[in-house]
Each structure stands twice: as structure tokens, then as C-alpha cells.
Amino acid sequence: MSYVLTLVADRGATSLTPAAIDRVRAAVGGGDVPRVLADGEAAEFRVWQKPDLGVARAALEGAAIDVLCTRARGRRRGLLVADMDSTIVTGETLDELAAYAGLGEKIAAITRRSMNGEIDFREALRERVAMLKGLGLAALEQTWAQTELNAGAKTLVATMRKHGALTALVSGGLTFFTARVVALCGFDEHRANVLLDDGVALTGAVAEPILGADTKLSTLQELAALRGVRLAATLAVGDGANDLPMLKAAGLGIAYRAKPVVATEVENRIDHADLRALLFAQGFAATDFVEI
């Protein structure tokens, strides 16, 4: 069985040079002639046994370059399932909403523990939402106005859809935000938790059942079956502990700016580059991208 190593540089911090590519090739015992996917940004080469990614990353000597590994066959995926907070968008929308209640840091601390798997996700969500009881609905719109996409998000979704993939945003966050991200990025569908209100303010409750790690996994499985693709032909991306089951089950699970517990358990990680790296990992060249 052969594999492909893909190197992707953070365009704002460094350039991917032929020398850097050669160092990685030497570290993993050689490989095929490199194929440039984007000048100075991304390249790939085939190897004939599964490489040690730790060794490959060490060969880059601390440069802001990611190393991703896929099987050579069937690299392009028919389904993308993406987390929202700190993956497709830059921050944690619930934490940012909490700032309008003067509880930003208190709730953010609970979020950090939950995303690193230190406390139960469902209980953490209920606790955080309860603290927001009475917060006016205008705070939701104000939070959305400050929400930003991570670089490459629109390109990732548009390119995968152009090439026939189903794209879904599946979040432990809130449908108020996922619906807007879907409209902005062009995802085919979204699933998340429903924040309850009385028409004027938040009630401090969230609709049950709560979408957590097991639901993310079951959604990946359900959508793969609906699309008629094997799990091996799926791609999942996320950053937190509640993403781990789907990241491990997907044919290609990629951790994006991962929390520590995720970084230790998911082999393929994006620590430096933007979300376009998920396309490079599937063998797309920059000339294949749909830029929006």
C-alpha cells in the first residue's frame, strides 16, 4: 500500500521551499518526485510505506508547515462533516455571546475544560446556557455581527461541492449561528443545538436532546449512508473533545488548531495553514479551487 505526504505552509509566515521538501523526503526514507500543488505553499509526494509524521514534522525544524498523510487511493472525499466553533469560525460563539451578559471569561473557562474533555459536554452546555437566562435576544445578533470565518472556509466548501461532495456543518453550538454560517459558506445542511427563548430573552435552557460527540459520529455515519459512500470516503474536521469520535471514524479525520486532548489522538493536524489544507490533502491543486 502506498501513501501520500502533503506539506502545506502558512502563507503568511513562511514559504515551502524545495529544500524543506527534500528534508522531509530524506527523513521518511525517500519518495516519489514531488508534485507542486501551489507555488511556495503546498506540495505532495508518494511513499511506499506509512511514514512517521513525527519524524516528518521534526525535519521541518520548527517551520510553520503542516504535514498530512493519506492513502494514495481514493483521496477525494464524497462527504465533508465540519465542526463550527474554532474550526469554521474563529472563536467560540457561546463564549462571545456570554460577554454580553458580563460572563465571558467565566463561561469561556467551562468551554475550555469541556473542549479538552475534562468535563461532560452536555452538562457543560446546560450549565453555560443556564447562566445566560434573561439575556436579551439582541445579543445574538450582536454576537453574529462579530463572528468571523477562518481563512479558507468558503473555498473548502465551494470546492468540495463543485466536485460532488455533500457538505454538512455539525456543531455542539447553536442553530442560531450554524444557520448563518451555512448561508455564508454554502454548506448543504447544518445540525446543532437549539437555544430556547420567550420571544424577548433567553430562558436559560437548551432543547433536548443535546447534540454532542455521539450525535456528531452518528451524523457522519447517517450522511455517508445517505450519500452512498463508505466511511473511508469521508472527511471530518474539528478541534475539540466532542469531535474525537467522528474524527477517528472518518476516512480522513483532520484536527484543526486542536485542543491538547485531540492533538494527542489524531494523526493528521492543521497547526499552521488555513482550511484550504484540507483540499491539498485530497490532492487538489490551487488551480482546482473555487475561490469565493
C-alpha cell at 204: 436559560
Q: Give the chain's end-to-end CA distance (angstroms, integer).
A: 36
For the question of residue 274 being annotated catalytic, the response is no
Q: For residue 209, say if its preceding peptide bond is cis, omega within 30 degrees of 0.
A: yes
Give dist(CA 35, CA 44) in Å, integer.
5
Torsion of the alpha carbons at 202, 194, 238 and 144, rounded to the nearest 10: -50
Length of the chain in terms of residues written: 292
C-alpha cell at 2: 502506498
> Of the residues 10, 66, 85, 239, which is catalytic?
85
Q: For residue 133, which of 91, 101, 168, 155 has the smallest C-alpha distance?
A: 101
The residue annotated as part of the active site, out of 10, 66, 83, 95, is 83
Q: Which three cell numbers stand for residue 27?
A: 527523513
Torsion of CA 275, 82, 171, 248, to 10 degrees: -110
85 is catalytic: yes
Residues with catalytic function: 83, 85
